[in-house]
Chains A and B, each alone.
Chain A
């Protein structure tokens, strides 16, 4: 599989936050989900890829090229969608499109007009008069209209209603039918990724907790439910995190075979959702300190 993006030991420090030796790769032809809570480092990671911020250490290669030395060339092949509206509020949809289109050699006016109609974007309406969902759709239409090989989408579904979210997810699924395209989709709404993502990278507190194919994530973890009488220091060990109530416990384990051997049919085993995995992993990291990279290799 060809790596479109490779982040190697990338660090970036801000006051009160550090992106710490982040390494992962995005393979061509897949939708990659980047999950984590707000402030975890998702936007910083995407901005590093776009060369909007500079790493303190490490290297970033996109399409096999160094992203700082070949920024212009690389950005020609990237479609970007940011969570915050980056457009000029006083321009109309049509005029903003004209401005952006002139920068791309491969601008496809026909494709843009198709997306504009598909999204019901009014050409003569000012950006400031568009709803958040419309702005996001406009951003996506621009990103898709110059035949980008890589789509970087920072929280594209954040703040959208379920119908708009579904439209965007369906569109992404359609985009990825072209196996030459790669998508990085950052979100804290994990249910969006359950539908579309091929790989999941969890970032928390500036560190990558795991970066795995979605199927492997689902196989790697098990959600265990049972009575609190089953818990003792030894049986707690294989859990990433445990939530206890007066009537029982629910815990996430990344050692499914070990917990099955421990509890047998005295417990119930469920397939965890991405949200379960994210919440338990984050709670563990926050409540019990760091866990080693050996246990959760990237």
Chain B
């Protein structure tokens, strides 16, 4: 496991630095944006996606699977590595925002949501990537981003018009701790199920 994590770090360290620099610029509002934490999550997701494309372009699956390591470890290391990078970007953003004077209760809530959001992305991304390959994921991610960008004004408009039928207010009125506990448990279960599925799919893969 440590060997693969080291490999991931060595291969991606320049990209990690570039993405981390982008997180710093957004968090410190050097590049002014409305919601830097959400952007950090997007950057973590995009980093994962470009890293996978990079892996496919180099055709390094042949190399990794010719080394003395089992496929379960390869998949597990990928989950650990990309979750760590995501957590790292989110933590970096939180630290910088806190240092810049943001309110801590808001940051705690937002960072919790950001972590859950990223974990869900990882959970969906990996099995789809292993199953269909980077070309499919390339199309799917671009489609997702475009749809996401289109959905934001629609949701905003609906919120203005209908208040989203009171759903956000109902959720906001629930006590925080059980709500986040439930969301974290659900995310944990989805993440484990995703890992299990990814291992099975990767073990069947042929290179």
User: Which A residues are closer than 8 A to B by beta carbons?
Assistant: 47, 50-54, 71-73, 75-76, 78, 80, 82, 84, 86-91, 95, 98-100, 102-104
Contact = CB atoms under 8 A, between A and B. Distances in A.
A57 to B, nearest CB: 15
Contact of B67 (A75, A90, A91, A95): A75
A91 B10 contact: yes
Given A87-B60, A95-B10, A103 B206 contact: no
B68 A47 contact: no
Closest 6 CB pairs of A and B: A86-B63, A76-B68, A102-B3, A53-B206, A75-B68, A103-B67
A54 B206 contact: yes
Given A75-B67, A95-B10, A84 B59 contact: yes
Nearest to A50: B66
Nearest to A84: B59
B207 A52 contact: yes
A99 B10 CA distance: 7
A233 to B, nearest CB: 47
A97 to B, nearest CB: 11
B145 interface: no
A99 B68 contact: no
Chain B contact patch, size range: 20 to 34
Interface of B: 2-3, 6-7, 10-11, 14, 58-60, 62-63, 65-70, 204, 206-207
Contact of B60 (A47, A51, A54, A86): A86
Given A72-B70, A87-B58, A99-B11, 19 more contacts: A50-B65, A52-B207, A72-B68, A75-B67, A75-B69, A78-B66, A80-B66, A82-B62, A86-B59, A86-B60, A86-B62, A86-B66, A87-B60, A91-B10, A98-B6, A99-B10, A100-B67, A103-B69, A104-B68
16 contacts: A52-B66, A52-B207, A72-B68, A80-B66, A82-B62, A84-B59, A86-B58, A86-B60, A88-B58, A90-B14, A91-B10, A95-B10, A102-B2, A102-B6, A103-B3, A103-B68
Contacts, number: 65
A76 B207 CA distance: 19
A47 B207 contact: yes
B207 A53 contact: yes
Contacts of A82: 62, 66
Contacts of B67: 75, 100, 103-104
A56 to B, nearest CB: 11
A99 to B, nearest CB: 5
Given A72-B70, A102-B6, A103-B3, A52 B62 contact: yes
A53 B61 CA distance: 12
Contacts of B6: 98-99, 102
A54 B3 CA distance: 25
